Structure formats: C-alpha cells, structure tokens
Copies of this chain bind each other. A is one copy, B any other.
Amino acid sequence: MSAADARPQPPVAEAIRADVARALAEDIGPGDVTAALIDPAARARARIVSREAAVLAGSPWAEACFRQLDPQVRIAWHRHDGDAIAADEVVCELAGNARALVAGERNALNFLQTLSGTATVTRSYVDAVAGTRARILDTRKTIPGLRLAQKYAVRCGGGHNHRMGLYDAILIKENHAVAAGGIGPAIRAARAASPGVFLDCEVESLDELREAIDAGADRVLLDEFSDAQLREAVALAAGRVPLEVSGSVNLEHVRQIAQTGVDCISIGALTKHVHAVDLSMRFEDA
C-alpha cells in the first residue's frame, strides 16, 4: 500500500448505486415510451461536453446511470472529478446500446450538472481564500437525499466537510448550552457522554469562547462575529483550538474574513443553493 493521492474519495459503491437506482426509477419507471422508435439492438456513440467553465464532479454517478441500463457500456473519461474544465471540453466518450444511452442521458447529466455546480461554487470560495490558513467547510443545509453526493462535490471543489450529520460530531448550540446550564457544563456533559467524538461548540462572545476553550472543545464556531471580533478571537485562542466562522458569508466578503486568521469558514450556500452547470450529451451520427 502506497501513500494516498489527492483525489477526493467518493462514497461507497452501494450508496452511489442506490442514488442512481432511485433517479432511474423516478425517470424511467415502467419504461421509456419513446424508446420504441429505436432499434433495441442498435448501438450508439456519444460524448458529454461542457458548455461553460466549471469544476467537474459526479462522474461515478453518471457512469452508474449508463451502466445500470447497459452493463456493457464503455465510458472513457477525459476529465476527472475535481478537474477544472473549460467550455466546450469533452468530458467523456461513450459507446453502448442506443436505447440505454438515450434513456440514461438526462439522468447522467442531472447528476453531473448538480454536483459540478456544487464543486464549482466551492472552488470559487476556496480560490478566494487562497494563501490564508482558512479552510472552506460545508454545512448540513443540503438538498434532501443528496447529502453524501453533495459533500463529495464539496471535496471535489477543494472544500472540506463539516460533520456528515447529527451522528458523527457534537455541535453544541445555544439551545443545548441553555439546557445544560452553560457552555462549560454542556461541553463536559457531551464529552462524558461521547468521549470519542469530535466536539464543536458555538459561541456568541469572547467570554463564551474562553469558556469553550477551557472546557476543551475541539473547535469553536464563532456565530455572527464582526471582523474585528474575529481578530480578537484569533488572538485569544492563540492556536489552542481551531476557530470556525459561520453566519452570513458571501464570496465578496470571504477573503476579508479569512484574513482575520480563522481556521475554517462554513458556508451554507455551497449546498443549499444549486447552480447547475451547463453540460450536454451529443450523439454521433451512426
């Protein structure tokens, strides 16, 4: 086993298979009523082409769309997930059963355009903070049913994943702190209940930040801090714990935030909005 490369790791094959089976079921259901016009034995060749610059993401889902319809389909990927692609680039070439390619087309493009959209917007934020220590994180504000795929797309764009869900990291918010009698007690109670779980804690002031650091949070989320307050927080933390910024962050403002010295900036817009990338599939003349 040699050292790993930098490509983001997609979810396990079974999860991709299930995503694709669900998409095909909702699109094809009892069968393609227009397919009768195509010889069931006909073969076709096609290519998927970008119509605008983007960061590619979603190729395992696109490939599975075609493969579930034609297990013998051949797909050559010219560009890979995480690659920046220009307008009019050939993303991949396909050859296989004509009905399968026609029926799979829209489904494959739906995955590619959605996930590349997420990767592309993520990359724009990642580029905006280049040279700072800040990492771009996603959130749990995702399209229902597509979380694993969107979180993978964020990685394709160079972002990092916040927790996958409620199960894999503790995030103490105001409600929790109130219920537990304060930030310190909340952190200690949560740590005691789940000793091997990453613990993030939301704070609204420098005093709360101090309390969270003292109680041993693994990361502290600064909620609605001004840039000046962020700089104070960075000084106060002094590297003892990573600091995360949340709240209203946009592409214009993100670099300024990053330059305060915070470690992570989490951005709901990466995954709650989708700006689909324009891709098309072109069939070759037979």
Please report the C-alpha to C-alpha distance between residue A170 and residue B29 in the assembled complex, in whole angstroms. Answer: 14
B114 near A166: Cβ-Cβ < 8 Å: no
Q: Provide the residues of chain B in CB contact with A200, threshold 8 Å.
A: 196
* Interface residues of A, dominant DSSP: mixed
Please report the C-alpha to C-alpha distance between residue A106 and residue B189 in the assembled complex, in whole angstroms. Answer: 23
Tell whether A237 is near chain B: CB-to-CB under 8 Å.
Answer: no
Q: Provide the residues of chain B in CB contact with A7, threshold 8 Å.
A: 40
A32 near B276: Cβ-Cβ < 8 Å: no
Tell whether A236 is near chain B: CB-to-CB under 8 Å.
Answer: no
Q: Provide the residues of chain B in CB contact with A30, threshold 8 Å.
A: 11, 15, 26, 148, 151, 164, 167-168
B1 near A143: Cβ-Cβ < 8 Å: no
Tell whether A283 is near chain B: CB-to-CB under 8 Å.
Answer: yes
- Which of A82-90, A205-213, A223-231, A267-275 has 4 or more CB atoms under 8 Å from chain B? A267-275
A179 (CB) vs chain B CBs: closest residue: B1
Q: Provide the residues of chain B in CB contact with A260, threshold 8 Å.
A: none
Known contacts A274-B274, A276-B141, A166 near B27 by CB under 8 Å: yes
Known contacts A1-B178, A1-B179, A37-B172, A19 near B273 by CB under 8 Å: no
Known contacts A33-B169, A167-B31, A196-B163, A39 near B5 by CB under 8 Å: yes
Interface residues of A in 55-69 (CB under 8 A from B): 61, 68-69
Tell whether A130 is near chain B: CB-to-CB under 8 Å.
Answer: no
Contact of A3 among B69, B181, B264 (CB under 8 A): B181
Tell whether A50 is near chain B: CB-to-CB under 8 Å.
Answer: no
Contact of A144 among B22, B137, B219 (CB under 8 A): B22
B197 near A168: Cβ-Cβ < 8 Å: yes
A274 (CB) vs chain B CBs: closest residue: B274
Tell whether A235 is near chain B: CB-to-CB under 8 Å.
Answer: no
A98 (CB) vs chain B CBs: closest residue: B1
A28 near B274: Cβ-Cβ < 8 Å: no
A175 near B102: Cβ-Cβ < 8 Å: yes
Tell whether A238 is near chain B: CB-to-CB under 8 Å.
Answer: no
Tell whether A76 is near chain B: CB-to-CB under 8 Å.
Answer: no
Contact of A27 among B117, B147, B272 (CB under 8 A): B147
Q: A33-B194, A102-B175 are in contact. List 6 more A-B contacts (CB 8 A).
A: A1-B42, A11-B30, A14-B21, A113-B272, A137-B195, A168-B197
